Every structure is written in C-alpha cells, then in structure tokens.
Structure 1
Amino acid sequence: MSDVAERRNYDLRDEIKAYWSERAATFDLSPGHEIFSEEERAAWHRLFRRHLGDGAGRPALDLASGTGVVSHLLDDLGFKVTGLDWAEPMLERARRKAKDRRRSISFRLGDAENTMEPDGRYDVVVNRHLVWTLVDPPAAFREWLRVMKPGGRLLIIDGDFVNPGRLERFFSALNAWSQRVGLTRPDAPAQPREMLETHRSILSRVHFSQGARSQAVVELLRAAGFADIEVDTDLGEIHRTQAKNWSLFKGLARKNQHRYAIRASKPLDAA
C-alpha cells in the first residue's frame, strides 16, 4: 500500500486509539485516573451505589476501561464486570492489575462506539471520561442502549474540558504561576509537548469539540431512547479526596470545572 493510501486510511479514530495507547504507560500515575487513597475509593463507591445500587452479581460493561480503574470499583461492589477498550497497551495493564489483585474481571479488545456485544446483555453500562472523545455520540448512545437489558442503567462520568469558567481560569493561572516561580512542584507526570499537541488536535475534531456540556449529552441520550435521565454535579467528595494529590491551586481549578455524572435508564418496554 502506498504512503498516500495509508494516510488516507488513518482517520480520527485511529489517532485517538494511538494517543491512548501511548498514554497507557503513565496513565495510572495521574491523580484523577488511578485511585490514590482508600478515602477516594470510598467516595467513588458511594457515587456508584447512589446511581446503580449494589452489584449482586449483575453484569456490568465498563466502556473505554483503560487500565481497569472503574472496572475494579464496580467489582468491589459485586458487579460481574467486563471491561472494553481498543488500546491493547491499556488492556495489558488492566489484565495484569486484575491478576495481581486476584480479580475475575474480563477485559476485551473492542470499540466503545461499536461494541460487538450481544443485544440486552448488561444491567449496567458505565464509562468515565469517554463521551468527550466520541466521534459519533448519537450512534454510540444507540449502541449502548442496544446492549442493555430493559430497565438497565447507564452511568456517564465526564465533563466540559474546553470551556473553563472564570474561577477555573483564575486558579489554573495561579497554578501555572506558582510552578513557574518554584512555589509548587510541577504536575506529574508531565506530558511531552508532542502529546499535548496531539490531544489538542484530537479535541478540536471530535463531536464535542466545543465542550461536552451536560445538557447537550442529555439531549442526545433522550434522542437515542434513554429515559429517567438525571444529571448529578455533586462530585465534591471525589474532588476533595483527589485534591490532596495536587497543589492547592490545581485542586481549586478542578473543583470549579463543569464535571458531572449522568444516569439514564433503558425503558422497560424497549426491545
């Protein structure tokens, strides 16, 4: 195949996959990705219980599962978890982590927008920080509805990472200044400039390039057929536990981001 043909066939989805494959090596080093304290773990458990209840052996699908952080939280609560990710380096780390922790979580290679999972298999579908990267959210939401049982619940944890509010901009600027003058340590792990540029390039071309505001996500979920949709912005407990791993200013900036959990249900009379 010629170089021209290869470039033509390398689309945005391939770029996203390659980006997260490269991020796999340092993914668990970042607060906000891996769990860094039992206090934070308990805060996540309370969020999941609030919206999903206890697992009781119910099948759950963790989409874009990465290194398995959310999968392990669901497993803690008694769900029978399948993690799906299309970045093999992420899956390698997820499988190793599950083996080390003696967890019976199944991790599979797959696309969150086209899962290839059977109809009506899961009581629960969960994802964290996936929606903002979706190329075709309407099709993805219809796919998620398809793999859920009638009465099943979807939980989306995400945010608008494009449009910082006034307070977020203020505290982010203070954080950058304090690092520059040596008052606080640099954020770790720092991404190479090339990776930051790749991230910005991808973000400028996905569906939510103008920011994944919760109401926009809700409207697409409703159009896909979901019902009983609720937006939960009460994530302060989680943010407080994570902030202990950041500088004061970065923690305040994170607190003022538009982050949310959206719970939605598949109607009982849906096919």
Structure 2
Amino acid sequence: MQSEPMADGANFTLRDEIKAYWSARAATFDQSPGHEIFSEEERAAWHELIERHLGWGAGRKALDLASGTGVISHLMDDLGYRVTGIDWSEAMLERARAKAASRGRSIRFHLGDAENTLEADDSYDVIVTRHLVWTLVDPETCFREWLRVLKPGGKLLVIDGDFVNAGLAERLVKRLATLLERTGLVKPQAPHAPAIMAGTHESILSRVYFSGGARAEPVARLIEEAGFSPVTIDTNLRRVHDAQAVNLSFFKGVARGLQHRYAIVAEKSKG
C-alpha cells in the first residue's frame, strides 16, 4: 500500500509519511501522559505488566521495536534485560540516546525498520512493541520478521489498542466532556499532538492496514498465522491506565480506561 506521489513526482510512500509524521512528533512526544512515564506508580504498573508476561530479564536480550524516545527500553532495562531499541526516526533516536546517557543506561539505540530489522536469525530472547501495530502497513511481513529474529522459545509482547472505534460508554463520556468544555465548566486538556498535525494523523490512519481499528483478536490471529504459538490476549491493563489517569483530565482519564487496549504475548516454538 502506498500514498499518491507528491506534486514534484517523487515516490513518497505511506511508510515515508509515517516516518515523517513521527519525526515531527519527536520534540513534544515525551510531554504527553501515556507516552512518557510521569510517576513511580505508573512505572511500577508497567514493570508488573512486563514481568507478568516476559519474566525477569536476568541479562536476556530484548529488542524494543519502534522504540521512540526509549520509554519501554528503559522499563526493560530496569528489569534486567540487555536492550536494543530500533526506530526509523532519527529525531526520536536522538532523544532516546540523550535520555539514556543522562540516566547512565547502556541501552543501544540505532536506526532500523520494524518490517526489515536486519538483525540475525534467532538473536533475541524477547521482542516488545508499544503502539506500533496499529500503524503497520504490512503486519503479516512484520510478524514473520519478528518470528525470525526471536530465539526458539522466545516471546513477543505487543501492547496496543483500537484507537478508531469507541464503545458506547466511551462515546458518552467524550460527548459529556465536550459539552462541559463548550459551556466553560471544564477546561479542555491539550491534545496529544499539535492541532496542525491532526489532519496528517487522520490521513495516515485511514490508509494503514488496521484503518478500521486494531482489535486484539484480528491482531492475535495474524500473529498466530505468522507461526507463533501459543498466542494469548490480556486486556487487564487497568493498573497502568489508573496511574496514567492522574495526569489526565477527569473525563479523558475515564475515557482511556474504557478504550479497547490490550497486551498480546506470543511464543516462538522451541521445536
């Protein structure tokens, strides 16, 4: 899948648009709750989620795909993993490297593509991604690539959500919030992304593979079809969402807890 060529005739694909979008977001990415971690309570909640599915690191090798500014990489490092983060935005990587240096971490970050990592076969004990799958153009290829890179018995942890379809309760909460904001009774909370980029986000979202929403079941099915087994879905992210809600407006915090967010853990067969 690719976008229309630019006016000057250059072949500017959808993947190029996604890369440019996240590079532009890099400067303010860590300012948003749900991106960076703003409390020790949230950090502990993430640690519990990761350890529940992947266990303690004990020096095992972890690959953080679409690592961004390194938030998940640092959580994995906290838990004793030897972490490599790859991202295809150099702007994100610059901030990730600076953050690791300021915290005295030995995390390795480099430019790379989640669909074609260029990593060796059977080279990582675990792979983790957060909010990557919903942006994928070709998830089938990605999942096969991730299976290749994992060691036999290795595990994949996908943390993602359906950011397109809102349930009835979430829609009602958002409508009430909008009404109260218009009447001046509630102060609007700043959006994740600058308003000028909203159109770009919507355009990209309309053309990715999961344009209709990345529901857990279809994502898990594609992961299984790529060769992973077993594949399980965990929708119990309440502790993380409750910790994030402290830094959100009341209604935004409630809405986040009602969204279809999940973790999928999948294993590469030892045979």
Q: CA separation in 2, counterparts of 1:30 and 1:178?
A: 22
Where in structure 2 are the equivalents of 1:110-259 lying within 5 Å?
110-188=112-190, 191-259=193-261
Q: Which residue of 2 aligns with 1:32?
A: 34
SS of the equivalent of 1:43 reads: helix
User: Distance in 2 between the 1:58 and 1:251 partners?
Assistant: 35
Question: 1: distance between equivalents of 2:252 and 2:7?
Answer: 43
> Which stretches in structure 1 are left out of the alignment for 5+ residues?
none
SS at match of 1:78: coil
TM-score (norm 1): 0.95
Residue 9 (structure 2) aligned to one of 2, 5, 8:
5
Q: Percent identity?
A: 65
Shift of 1:173: 1.6
Q: What's 2:80 paired with?
A: 78
Distance 1:191 1:131 in 2: 19
CA deviation profile, 1:83-121 (whole Å, cap 9, x unmatched): 000001100000000000000000010011111111111
8 Å Cα contact 1:184-1:247 kept in structure 2:
no
2:222 partner letter: L
Deviations 1:214-257 (A, max 9, x none): 11011101110000111000000000000011111111111110
> Partner of 1:91 in structure 2?
93
Contact 1:26 1:189 in 2 (8 A): no
* Equivalent-residue separation in structure 1 for 2:269 and 2:193 (angstroms): 43
Q: How far apart, CA to CA, are the structure 2 residues paired with 1:86 and 1:137?
A: 16
Distance 2:29 2:230 in 1: 33
Q: 1:107 to 1:187 in 2, by over 3 A?
A: same
Shift of 1:189: 5.1
d(CA) in 2 for partners of 1:190 and 1:140? 27
Runs of 4+ in 1 over 4 A off after TM superposition: none
- The range that moved more, 185-194 or 90-99, is 185-194
Determine the C-alpha separation between the residues in 1 that align with 2:47 and 2:181.
33
Cα distance in 1 for partners of 2:170, 2:207 equals 24
Contact 1:60 / 1:80 at 8 angstroms: preserved in 2? yes
Q: CA deviation at 1:10?
A: 0.5
SS, match of residue 157 in structure 1: strand
Deviations 1:17-46 (A, max 9, x none): 000000001100000000000000000000
CA RMSD between the two structures: 1.2
Cα contact 1:61–1:124 (8 A) shared by 2: yes
Once residues 101 and 184 of structure 2 are traced to their aligned partners in structure 1, the CA distance between those partners, rounded to angstroms, is 41
Q: Return the TM-score normalized by structure 2.
A: 0.95
Distance 2:115 2:218 in 1: 18
2 CA distance for matches of 1:124 and 1:155?
8
Which AA in structure 2 matches 1:163?
A: N
* Kept in 2: contact 1:52–1:124 (CA 8 A): yes
Equivalent in the alignment of 1:23 = 25
Task: Give the secondary-structure state (helix, strand or coil) at the position aligned to 2:154.
Answer: strand
Aligned-pair distance for 1:179?
2.8
2:203 maps to amino acid: S
> What is the SS of the residue equivalent to 2:137?
coil
- How far did residue 169 of structure 1 move? 0.8
State the alpha-carbon separation in 1 of the partners of residues 194 and 130 from structure 2. Answer: 24
